[in-house]
């Protein structure tokens, strides 16, 4: 459940070609910058403006004043970048996303329809289709001991060799307000994280992480 194919429907991102070449999604983190630079040059000028070098913004995106957007960066169709947003570069933002007030992005892939709308930090992370982070929820991307991040799933330990690795959120994941996703967190498709949680390791798909660390399966809607 940590594999790229387990977490994401690649039809909802411009990064599909890069991610399809990975087994685990964090393998793509070191390639985001170069991928954006190459992809940006292929984007049709009738659909994308280039307000500064290495920044491509869809003409129908809504870019509010008082934000900062550094390249390389691509912002997709219908996306909103709200006041106070801080996009530090190496950010591939999909279509119909919301990058909200006081939200900071760095070395990320946001699939289509992702919302990071209020006071979020998302660094060295990949957020799947329709993933949503509640107000104040953040990805922690560096361990306190500064050692390379190890992704954990039960008894399995998977060294990544990366000193910076935030969270991998599968499609339609909901993260509650003021939660912290520790380095190397993986949350499976259709799972929910309770508000004020401190999440680590791997959360199975269609599960609920409660803020005491308990994980339970989600009930089927027709049950």
pLDDT in tens, 190-215: 999 999 999 999 999 999 999 888 99
Q: Work out the pLDDT band at 223, boundaries 50, 70, 90.
A: very low
Tokens of 134: 């509640």
Report all structural domains of the chain as residue ranges with CATH numbers, in order of start. 4-217 (2.160.10.10)
Rounded to whole angstroms, how far apart are CA atoms 192 and 201?
14
Per-residue model confidence (pLDDT) at position 155: 85
Q: pLDDT tens-digit profile of 158-193?
A: 999 999 999 999 999 999 999 999 999 999 999 999
Buried b (16+ CB within 10 A) or exposed e, 132-171: bbbbbbbbbbbbeeeeebbbbeeeeeeebebebbbbbbbb
């Amino acid at each position: 459940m940590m594999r790229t194919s387990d977490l994401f429907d690649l039809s909802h991102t411009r990064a599909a070609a890069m991610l399809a070449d990975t087994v685990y999604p964090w393998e793509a983190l070191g390639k985001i910058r170069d991928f954006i630079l190459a992809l940006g040059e292929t984007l049709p000028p009738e659909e994308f403006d280039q307000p500064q070098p290495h920044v491509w913004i869809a003409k129908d995106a809504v870019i509010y004043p008082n934000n900062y957007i550094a390249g390389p960066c691509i912002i997709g169709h219908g996306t909103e970048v709200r006041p106070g947003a801080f996009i530090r570069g190496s950010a591939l933002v999909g279509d119909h996303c919301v990058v909200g007030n006081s939200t900071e992005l760095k070395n990320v892939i946001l699939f289509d329809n992702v919302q990071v709308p209020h006071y979020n930090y998302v660094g060295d992370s990949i957020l799947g289709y329709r993933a949503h982070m509640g107000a104040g929820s953040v990805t922690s991307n560096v361990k306190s001991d500064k050692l390379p991040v190890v992704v954990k799933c039960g008894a399995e330990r998977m060294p990544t060799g990366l000193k910076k690795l935030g969270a991998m959120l599968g499609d339609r994941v909901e993260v509650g307000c003021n939660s912290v996703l520790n380095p190397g967190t993986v949350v499976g498709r259709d799972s929910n994280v309770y508000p004020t949680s401190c999440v680590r390791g791997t959360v199975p798909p269609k599960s609920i992480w409660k803020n005491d660390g308990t994980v339970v399966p989600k009930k089927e809607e027709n049950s």
